[in-house]
Amino acid sequence: MGAIQEPTPEMGPYRVEMRSESFYLTRTEADVETTAAPTRYQAKVPGADLPALLAALDQVLTHPWWPKWERPALGEEPDTSWVLPPGEEGSAPHPRWTAVSDGEAVVITGPWVVHHELRENRRHLLSSEVCYRDVEVLKAELEKATS
């Protein structure tokens, strides 16, 4: 069970739900024209979203419980088996994060599963689960994409 955090104004359309070892990251108003999940392990977001996305990650990093969550050992390769498709068919994602600017958008690839869904025939959501161990690396990759 998680705890939905109150979004800050800087987070724009992004929302965070904290859990014990990971958090859910959701973008509301994720219309398919500008926001998508091109593959199971990718999200495409407008480049203008980067400040809001970074603010969402900052909300995780500044949470009072942040120092208590487990961290990987130095040099330890992350286990990405939890993101395999049902039946363990298909390939696992690369364990490293990348954020590549693609004109007006940024394509984010990493050890997560991205879902694009239509709720109630009107509200599009792009959501994923991110392990706490990945937050700082993901943030660094997104910061590189802003420059």
Contacts with 74 (C-beta within 8 Å, 6 or more apart), sequence order: none
pLDDT at res. 89: 66
pLDDT grade, residue 65 (50/70/90)? confident
pLDDT at res. 44: 92
Write out the two tokens for 129.
């689960």
**CA dihedral angle for residue 76, residue 77, residue 82, residue 84, rounded to 10 degrees:** -170
The per-residue pLDDT for range 80-100, each reduced to its tens digit, is 665 666 666 667 777 789 999
pLDDT at res. 78: 62
Q: CA-CA distance, 75 to 56, in Å (whole number)?
A: 26
The per-residue pLDDT for range 31-52, each reduced to its tens digit, is 877 788 888 889 999 999 999 9
Angle at CA of residue 146, ends 118 and 134, nearest 5°: 65
